[in-house]
Amino acid sequence: MHLEVFAEGNSFFHSLDPRVKILVFIPFAILCAISKGIIIPLLYFMLSLIFILIAKPNLKVFLNRLAGANFFILFIWIFIPLSYKSNPYISLGFLKLSYKGLEYALSITLKCNAIIFATIALLSTSTIFSLAHAMLHLKFPSKLVTIFFLFYRYITVMHEEYIKIKRAVLARGFKPGTNLHTYRTYAYIVGALLIKSFERSEEIYKAMLARGFKGFFPLFEHFKLKKLDVAFAIFANFIVISIYLLGIYK
């Protein structure tokens, strides 16, 4: 499975310390999510656009992801300007669009895309394993991170098992449709996968015990914080917080 598409590359963000990127992303995401109106979300959107230009993600995949994420936003554009109860209205023939409703939809669109841009530029440019590693340094519960490591590691394994079973099913002439036979077949495929993963996990646990597992993974490699990492963290957080303060004192 080819999952970490954006982690491939050699931009500035790819070489930054993942801990620093998380510590820039969290304030950005929270402050952007709670900001109101148009101007502040627009500033966050522009900042995230700069991040994306620096990170240079694969354009085709990037646009594909944006389309998926904006699907729900599309619903808001369809419903909110028509149902938002406020004056004044913009009349378009027989349609009455609420001005406030349009403003609200635009605000949501900007915030949503700003946070997604930041996710891709700051987080998805690291591999999942290095993010999990950084989560341990940032004091996330170690049990949760241990599950995260194993969970991510075995997705590819279980996906290969799924492909194998699916190939066997298709070779026997299975054609999916809206009927109970199809649902039963898919259920048995998932059931078989669950049993395989249950048995696999017992083997994994024995292997881990044999290597002295005590409920957590000790850190083996360590990150090295460079001057550039610290400078970026301070500079980026300064801008992120300034934008938010601008919204309060405006």
Partner 1 sequence: MHISEGVLSPPVLITGAALTGVGLVLGLKTLKAEKIPEVAVLSSTFFVASLIHIPIGPSSAHLVLNGLVGLLLGWSAFPAIFLGLLLQALIFQFGGLTTLGVNTFAMAFPPVVLSYILRRFLKKDKYSLTFTVSFLVGFLSIIFSAILIGIALYFTEKSFTPVIITLLGAHFPIAIVEGFITSFIMLYLLKVKPEVVL
Does 176 interact with partner 1 (rule: CB under 8 A)?
yes
Tokens of 176: 């999916």
Query: Mask 204-223, x = binds partner 1 (CB under 8 A)?
Result: xx--x----xxx--------
At 95 the three-state DSSP class reads strand
Q: How far is the CB of 233 from partner 1 (least distance, A)?
A: 18
Q: How far is the CB of 178 from partner 1 (least distance, A)?
A: 5
User: For the stretch 9-47, what's the b/e string if a residue is b when 16 or more beta carbons lie within 10 angstroms of its beta carbon?
Assistant: eeeebbebbbbbbbbbbeebbebbeebeeeebbbbbbeb
Are 31 and 45 in contact by the 8 Å Cβ rule? The answer is no
Which residue, 48 or 232, has its beta carbon nearer to partner 1?
A: 48
User: In Å, how far are 39, 43, 76, 92, 100 from 103, measured between CA atoms?
Assistant: 11, 15, 11, 17, 5
Which residue, 151 or 231, has its beta carbon nearer to partner 1?
A: 151
Query: Mask 111-150, x = binds partner 1 (CB under 8 A)?
Result: xxxxxx--xx--xx---x--x---------x-xx-xxxxx
Tokens of 203: 């083997």
Q: Which of residues 58-97 bind partner 1 (CB under 8 A)?
A: 65-66, 68-70, 72-73, 75-76, 79-80, 83-85
16, 20, 40, 110: which one contacts partner 1 (CB under 8 A)?
110
Q: How far is the CB of 238 from partner 1 (least distance, A)?
A: 21
**Nearest CA to 119 among 71, 19, 52?**
52
201, 226, 230, 246: which one contacts partner 1 (CB under 8 A)?
201
Which residue, 39 or 66, has its beta carbon nearer to partner 1?
A: 66
**DSSP annotation string for 122-166:** IITTS-HHHHHHHHHHTT--HHHHHHHHHHHHHHHHHHHHHHHHH
Q: How far is the CB of 151 from partner 1 (least distance, A)?
A: 4
DSSP label of 120: I
Longest dimension (CA), the chain: 74
Which residue, 76 or 239, has its beta carbon nearer to partner 1?
A: 76
Q: Which of residues 14-43 bind partner 1 (CB under 8 A)?
A: 25, 29-30, 32-34, 41
Count of chain residues binding partner 1 (CB under 8 A): 87
Q: Which of residues 177-196 bind partner 1 (CB under 8 A)?
A: 177-178, 180, 182-184, 186-196
Does 104 interact with partner 1 (rule: CB under 8 A)?
yes
d(CA 139, CA 152): 19
Q: Which helix (H) or strand (E) holds 90?
A: strand 89-92
Q: How far is the CB of 43 from partner 1 (least distance, A)?
A: 14
